[in-house]
Structure 1
Amino acid sequence: MKYKSLVMHTALLLLINSDTFADENYDLPEVDIETHNNLTDNDSAIGSKSVTTSAEIKLFDSAELINPYKAISLEPGVDIRFNDPLGMSITHKIRGKSDRNVGETLEGLPLKGIGPGGGLSTMVDIENIDYINVEKGAIKADSGFGYGSDNGMVDMNFKAPSSNFSTVIKQVFGSDSLSKTYMRVDTGNIEDTAKIFISGSYTDADKWKGEGKATERKNFEFGIASTSKQDIKWELYGIYNDEKKHGYQGLTFEQSKDLSEYKDLDYQTDDPAKSDYYDYHRQDFETYAILGKVEVPLSSKDSFTLRPYFLHDKGKSWSTTSTNIIEWIVDHDTYGVVAEYAHKIDNGKIKLGYWYQEDEPPGPPTTRKLREFGTYEFSAWERLIDVEKNSIFHAPYITAEKEFGNTVVEAGLKYLWLSTPTLKSYDVTGIGDVSYESALSKANNEEFTLNSNTYEVFLPNIGLTHYINDNSYIRASYGRNYNTPQYGLGGGVVTYYRKMHMSEDTLQDMWDNIKPEESDNFDIGYGYGTSTWKTDTTLFYSDVKNVAGSFYDPALDFTYQQNMAKAQSYGAELAASYKVLDNLNLNLSLTYNKYEFKEDVETSAGTTIKSKGQQLPDVPEFTGNLSLVYDYQGYKLSPILRYLGKRYADVENKYSVDPYWLLDFSVHKEYSFGNKKRLDLSFSVTNLLDEEYISTISTSDTSDDEAKATYLVGAQRSLFFSVQYRF
């Protein structure tokens, strides 16, 4: 479907205005919903939502403060694993589903997509984050933009420019030669016209094992916003992030069973003539982003909001085959806009909107060179693909929300048109070590073209929350989510053409067999709370179709990456908090999650994997954490005990990795000196007991062979200290 113009309108409905905050005793964040006694931090009747504030980020991320995901990992259903102590390399799952940089937004905008490079979680300085929304289950129609929401959504929100002048200077030191220097200046209101912040940081740290950098990162950010004196509200944010880092080598299954011997094994540093040389496994990316928001009041009941965004990624990622270095070159843009018209009704709102985005590949990969071991000398182009059409998203949506007494009802509908890119591959014979643009100008012989497909996805949702009394509520919701097609196929098509001599028609048939994953999600919950304790329990079920994996195609008599399997996820979540004393709070999070295929999977002619009813690889059935905040004469002591249950390395559940417990501990102290001057000191220890464990099993959901998986060792005990002065 072609669009010559983009017409955007929006209408929205929210019958309740909610203010999210964390109280001084660091209870779970609360939302004041009229007279309903601050029972829940979910300001939507759809899905399950939690809010993590900057106070909690400061407390639970404590001194390291590189990645905000440590704080949100305390939520039930959120599985965050750290392959390094800084959080620069993490595994992120929500209710068992991985993210691949999908399901992350900034100010509700999907700046980052699939492909190499860092995600949004490391692109923004955590000191500039005000709060983080985590959505699970059904995703609202005015949320979940980007490459997919099937794995839930994590939305980070900027700490807006302050109305008062202030300066923050911070220094962090830690294990593995970590040093982070951060500074932010807020101008305050400038003649009631605007307020501005600028910030900059430099972070440097070695890997916790092996040679190379865990990160070498330069970051600059700014924000400009309107003041309270202006009728038209507007904001503009900019980000520059330059990041370099080396990768970690995974273990084999047998090595993973003897961590006392192999936990420190990493890429070697002695022989650059071999593929496992450390400097052949790294990445170097430079990212620019700008995003804005303009809200224009049209009347006392109507408003129009426009939110444009743009991101440019440029860099390289290096990996190896048995004979060459692969240099993956990335230079692409993402841009889009969300437009909304909102109309207030009695005790509610209606919202009408439109989302548009174009994303230049990768994924899939379009530009790769082969280089020689030892010298980095150019060997050949591995692939040269011209992008004739970008990935394109169009999505009109409508939401409506209204309060009927003690019952909140919300419904929405988003209709998505998702177009895959059109890719043209060229013969690279005789093309030298030149730029991508120069190589395209020299390429004369086309190999094949994969034409774009457009998919239509119908995404309804509905939910209600009923407040039984001032202390309890029930909620139920349904919604359909989606995820990006399996672009992993794009990594293999060049090989299929050149070495297996597949025709263009056959490759197009394979390209046509990738499609968006879709899931129908149901949540039922009950909450109860008093001034002393609160609980929230959720039962969830997700029915998933078009699950990605390597499947056999009898029409082609070939196994390749497709979207064709069926799966289901169901389980229960519990979040509880208890004020033991005025200065002692206890928080508990428990999750049970069964995530399984609904049918056996055929992986080759005559070979069927008995996957039906088996837990997917690297998805634990049981996870949990227990955190405590004890305020002793202004010192906030915060231990966190985490549990991750047994996981499997194969879809038939024959090979497993042991469960583990981790203990983190932090101390935070603030000193106030009047005139808003404040000194913050933080000290933290991650993996206090120096547990040896496997953090992540990197493998396909359909893998039946433990030898095909890579086992990443979790980070060892690490210490961090930070000092911050605000004036």
Structure 2
Amino acid sequence: MYSRRSSPVQAALVIQCLAWSGAYAQETITLETIEVGAERILTPTKQAEETVYTGAALTTRGIEIQGAKAAMQVWGAIDLLPGVSAEQPDSRGLGVEQSSVRLRGVRSSLGTLTVEGVPNYGGNPIGPRDSLYDLENMESISVYKGAAPADIGTGVGTRGGAIVLHPKWPGEEAGAALSQRLGGNDFTRTHARLESGRLNASGTRIAGAASYSEADKWRGPGDLGPRINANLALVQPVSEDLELKLWLNHNDQEQHLYRALTYAQVAGAGADLDLDLDFNARRTGNAADDIHYYDYNRGAYLNTDLLSVLTYRPSSDTRFTLKPYYANEDAKILQGTTASGGRVQERNRDIERWGLIAEAGTEFQGISALLGYHYEHTDMEITSENYAITRTGLSYRGYGVLATTGTTHIHSPYAKLAGRLGALNWQAGLKYFQFQDAASDGYTTGGAPDYALVRASDLDREARSHDIWLPSLGLSYDLTPETQLYASYGRGFIRPYSYMPIINTYSSNRARFQAAGVTLNELFAGYDMEESDTLDLGLRFRGERFEIMPTLFFGQYRNLLTSVSDSRVLVNGKPVSYQQNIGEATGYGLELAINAYVSDALTLYLNPTYTRLTYDTDLTYQGTTLDTKGKQVVDTPEWMARAGLIYRIGGFELRPVLRYLGERHGDSRHAESIDAVLLADLTLSYSTERLWPGRTLKASLELTNLFDEDYVAVINASDDSQGGSASYYPGAPFTAMLTLGIEL
């Protein structure tokens, strides 16, 4: 077991916060307004043409108080929500694609992230790209952990929830903001935003923002960054009933990777335990050692996203909306591998997506109705190339895998109805999602000196179409002006994913598969959509100085990607294992948000979560049945919580926070266990207009992992991971960051 240091100060803080029983603020329009000085951090949220609040929105203030980790990563911002576990190997928000994020135990890669409902995602790894945006340019973030509204554009699926980023569109008044953040390990981040205000009689408004960020890794040699982000937003009223919005985001980022550690290295005894171990600073000339050279483990990521929102309102109760969009991703990631005695693999992603979301909404006889259609065209080329490690550097050895090539399509019509009957609010939605996957031709790599591609028909993959119907329902009832009951149901899914692992398994054992007459296409025939049915039952109570919002949640999960053993193909006398969509799991739990507005100066909060997500059957691996039925899914803590306070006096603000993460496991049999950890953070801030009337000056000192706790932050593993296959990343030590800012 991995053990941690404890602190009596931490224990005292926990007891104190539990006694206070505080929580983040949430608000619902249907309940009586409460006049308190505390600014809202969280509020209930819903989509347009809906009447039932089924999600939670993180406000501008909520994003701001999360500090550095929330400035550049969506996962870092939503971490304060009940039911969300977002662990990162770096506390400054600069790491890319090395996080572990789960919503109610389900990996975030199986969910949807959107801007104004327009999906953001890629492949290898599948799922959202959460590090593309400066969140100072966002007004709020809506999170739906259960039922996903039908009108949120779905990229790869909603089994892991749905998130909507709401841009901070330029306002009527001109303004500017500049901030500079500095911290240990040469961390620096500069962010500037400029708004034009209303430029002319037609109402043209423009906002532009840019940032530059970089730091040294806290563990081992190498850099995180530079990260360069630029954002442009335009609002242009065309007429009284027609408005055009444009939004452009560009993100260019580089990084050296953190080294993934084994279970023995993070939880072993004696010489095996080394939480500071990372990549080597110098080459040795030995390929087996030089796979751990830091400059052979790095990535470069270039993303551009453009969307527009054209809204036509012929009357006060009718609207037509068009959202055309374009997205491009170009990424190259180098990583050392043990194959062939040690070599470097370069993973390449060249992804281009464009699409359109069209909607028509109206209200008649007290009923809101919405019809919509989402179409997307994607050209995705995901490949890997191999390089031998020589005494002079890297030498090309041909392609490793051409995993996903060709053009895919999404077709997704949807409809929603919503209304009110006295104190009862209701809504219903239905969405059809069809994913048309492309065919792919197979190749192997020829010999020296050219290492040219050679056709291999057994590696071909046929075009396939996957589809699903996605119903959703919501009800809420106002018992009193302060108390509301609500329930929601929704079906979720994730389209087929994890292509690279099954291709690698086949390629590594190709001769044995061929001898058994098994082609790669036959393995892909066992790929399908994962499905889920989720149900939320909750209550919201808002008193004058106290709020409590419990939510019971349930989930049934089918067709999960799970390892199977194929007795037709033997490797070292054992059946080969690969993944197919046959697994099942059950989840349930309780989320609780409690707020106490002790005074206009003091807010207390407590957000605990209990989650059970377990396998319904035993798994098999290489012909052996594993004892997994009823066991908690990998990397899913049963208990987690966040508690703290916000205390204001004059221009000063004090924000201590406690984060508790329960015991987790790195394999499906629970042989690899990571102990629970309790972390403390503290932020001190000051703002004033006295030094420059009409201008706000801000300063803050952010202290994370206040007591320098040793702990494991990230467990990188699939849900059916076997012992020895998971990788682990230690959490960042004590870190101090200073931010100075001005708002004009």
Q: TM-score, normalised by structure 1?
A: 0.90
1:30 aligns with 27
Give matches, 1:254-269, under 5 Å: 254-257=264-267, 262-269=274-281
Give matches, 1:538-687, under 5 Å: 538-553=551-566, 558-605=576-623, 607-672=624-689, 676-687=694-705
Say which is worse superposed, 443-452 or 571-580, in terms of deviation.
443-452
1:289 aligns with 305
Amino acid at match of 2:149: K
Deviation, structure 1 residue 487: 2.5
SS at match of 1:60: coil
Mapped pair 1:473 → 2:484? yes
2:10 aligns with none
Provide structure 1 residue ranges, at least 5 long, that are not aligned to the other structure. Answer: 1-24
Mapped pair 1:175 → 2:184? yes
Deviation, structure 1 residue 80: 1.0
1:41 aligns with 44
Q: Give the count of matched residue pairs.
A: 693
Provide structure 2 residue ranges, at least 5 long, that are not aligned to the other structure. Answer: 1-21, 36-41, 570-574
SS at match of 2:685: strand
Deviation, structure 1 residue 111: 2.2
User: Do 1:81 and 1:91's aligned partners in 2 also have CA atoms closer than 8 Å?
Assistant: yes
Mapped pair 1:301 → 2:312? no
Deviation, structure 1 residue 42: 3.4
Mapped pair 1:270 → 2:282? yes
User: Do 2:44 and 2:55's aligned partners in 1 also have CA atoms closer than 8 Å?
Assistant: yes
Deviation per CA, 1:578-606: give whole Å up to 9, x if none: 0112210011101100011101112233x
Mapped pair 1:209 → 2:219? yes
2:79 aligns with 73
Deviation per CA, 1:301-335: give whole Å up to 9, x if none: 32110111111111311112222100112222122
Mapped pair 1:58 → 2:71? no
Deviation, structure 1 residue 572: 0.7
What is the aligned counterpart of 1:279 among 292, 295, 316? 295
Deviation per CA, 1:80-130: give whole Å up to 9, x if none: 112111123332110011123742222221122232599543211121111
Mapped pair 1:528 → 2:544? no
SS at match of 1:100: helix
Deviation per CA, 1:12-34: give whole Å up to 9, x if none: xxxxxxxxxxxxx9962424237
What is the aligned counterpart of 1:360 among 359, 379, 388? 379
2:473 aligns with 462
Q: Structure 1 residues 118 and 675 mapped into 2: Cα distance closer, same or farther (>3 Å)?
A: farther
SS at match of 2:265: helix
Deviation, structure 1 residue 79: 0.7
SS at match of 1:509: helix
2:123 aligns with 114
Q: Distance in 1 between matches of 2:69 and 2:94?
A: 15
User: Do 1:368 and 1:383's aligned partners in 2 also have CA atoms closer than 8 Å?
Assistant: yes
Deviation, structure 1 residue 41: 1.6
SS at match of 1:279: helix
Deviation, structure 1 residue 560: 0.9
What is the aligned counterpart of 2:736 among 704, 714, 719? 719
User: Do 1:366 and 1:383's aligned partners in 2 also have CA atoms closer than 8 Å?
Assistant: yes
User: Do 1:307 and 1:337's aligned partners in 2 also have CA atoms closer than 8 Å?
Assistant: yes
User: Do 1:407 and 1:466's aligned partners in 2 also have CA atoms closer than 8 Å?
Assistant: yes
Say which is worse superposed, 115-124 or 67-76, in terms of deviation.
115-124
Q: Structure 1 residues 282 and 296 mapped into 2: Cα distance closer, same or farther (>3 Å)?
A: same
SS at match of 1:492: helix
Deviation, structure 1 residue 47: 7.7
User: Do 1:549 and 1:700's aligned partners in 2 also have CA atoms closer than 8 Å?
Assistant: no
Deviation, structure 1 residue 348: 3.5
SS at match of 1:508: helix
Mapped pair 1:383 → 2:380? no
Q: Distance in 2 between matches of 1:550 and 1:26?
A: 41
Mapped pair 1:141 → 2:150? yes
SS at match of 1:341: strand
2:514 aligns with 502
Deviation, structure 1 residue 726: 1.9
Q: Structure 1 residues 290 and 389 mapped into 2: Cα distance closer, same or farther (>3 Å)?
A: same
Mapped pair 1:692 → 2:701? no
Deviation, structure 1 residue 372: 2.5
Deviation per CA, 1:172-214: give whole Å up to 9, x if none: 1011111111111111112133111111111111111101112
Q: Distance in 2 between matches of 1:499 and 1:257?
A: 38
SS at match of 2:322: strand
Deviation per CA, 1:485-525: give whole Å up to 9, x if none: 13334542661574545388621111111111100001111
Mapped pair 1:222 → 2:222? no
Q: Distance in 1 between matches of 2:475 and 2:30?
A: 14
Q: Structure 1 residues 612 and 300 mapped into 2: Cα distance closer, same or farther (>3 Å)?
A: same
Amino acid at match of 2:62: E
Identity percentage of aligned residues: 27
Amino acid at match of 1:268: N
Q: Distance in 1 between matches of 2:614 and 2:568?
A: 26
1:312 aligns with 328
Amino acid at match of 2:104: R
Q: Distance in 1 between matches of 2:397 and 2:350?
A: 19
Q: Structure 1 residues 399 and 465 mapped into 2: Cα distance closer, same or farther (>3 Å)?
A: same
Amino acid at match of 1:462: L
2:258 aligns with 248
User: Do 1:184 and 1:199's aligned partners in 2 also have CA atoms closer than 8 Å?
Assistant: yes
Amino acid at match of 2:520: L
User: Do 1:236 and 1:292's aligned partners in 2 also have CA atoms closer than 8 Å?
Assistant: yes
User: Do 1:62 and 1:668's aligned partners in 2 also have CA atoms closer than 8 Å?
Assistant: no
What is the aligned counterpart of 1:166 among 148, 158, 175? 175
Q: Distance in 1 between matches of 2:631 and 2:404?
A: 39
Say which is worse superposed, 541-550 or 184-193, in terms of deviation.
184-193
Q: Structure 1 residues 400 and 266 mapped into 2: Cα distance closer, same or farther (>3 Å)?
A: same
Q: Distance in 1 between matches of 2:418 and 2:118?
A: 22
SS at match of 1:291: strand
